[in-house]
Amino acid sequence: MLENIRIKVEPITNKISLELSKFGITPIMLSGLAIIFAIISGFFYSNLVQFNINIVIQNQVLGAIFLLIAGLFDMLDGSLARVTKKTSSKGAFIDSTFDRVTEIIIYSGLLIGQYAESILIFFAITLSMLVSYSRTKAEAINVDLRGIGIAERSERILILCFFSFINEIRYAIIIIIILSSITFIQRFQKVLSTLNKN
């Protein structure tokens, strides 16, 4: 769903990426920064440590803020690769792998923080991985799934962040499970229908 919005804001992200390239910043650096901020996000979600600032801002809100920052860097790394013509199979592999690592880190933080029952978090991460895997596998057989499904990775991040801000993460997990299930089915059907036409 957000893929259409991403296309509209692409000129903006391209300009930002061009500016970043002037400082010698590479797509791999941005991917690395996305992982670092995801780790910080997962740490806050885990609730392992309480800080003085928690009187004003709770850990799950800090987790959401750093997750949004990680998502921004993740969006910019692909844009930077395109505008600097540094797209490659290696870069695509690293980006895709780092995206999965990021999700594992975040859900691990949610599990440790006990925001929802373990079984719910298990289903949320499993279905999220299935959604991502279906696209990766589809691309391997030349089927484009960009924009297919109501809960791609960007949507899942925004859902989690929104409900983090209102302190209702359990509802976010349940919604992610439902929407990820629907998205996986949509992608599965899309691949089968495309292959049947060929």
Active site residue 99: yes
Helix then strand then coil, in percent of the chain rounded to 5, is 80, 0, 20
Helical packing angle, 27-46 and 89-113, nearest 10° = 10
pLDDT above 90 as % of the chain: 53
Amino acid at 90: K
Q: Tokens standing for 8?
A: 């509209």
In our burial notation (b when 16+ CB lie closer than 10 A, e otherwise), range 46-64 reads: bbeeeeeeeeeebbbbbbb
Per-residue model confidence (pLDDT) at position 187:
93
Q: Which residue in the list 74, 95, 99, 144 is annotated as catalytic?
A: 99
Per-residue model confidence (pLDDT) at position 83:
84
pLDDT > 60? residue 8: yes
Average pLDDT value over all residues in the chain: 89
Q: How confident is the model over 9-56, as pLDDT tens digits? A: 777 888 888 888 888 888 888 999 999 999 999 999 999 988 878 788
Enter the pTM of the model. Answer: 0.89
Q: How confident is the model over 79-88, as pLDDT tens digits? A: 888 888 877 7
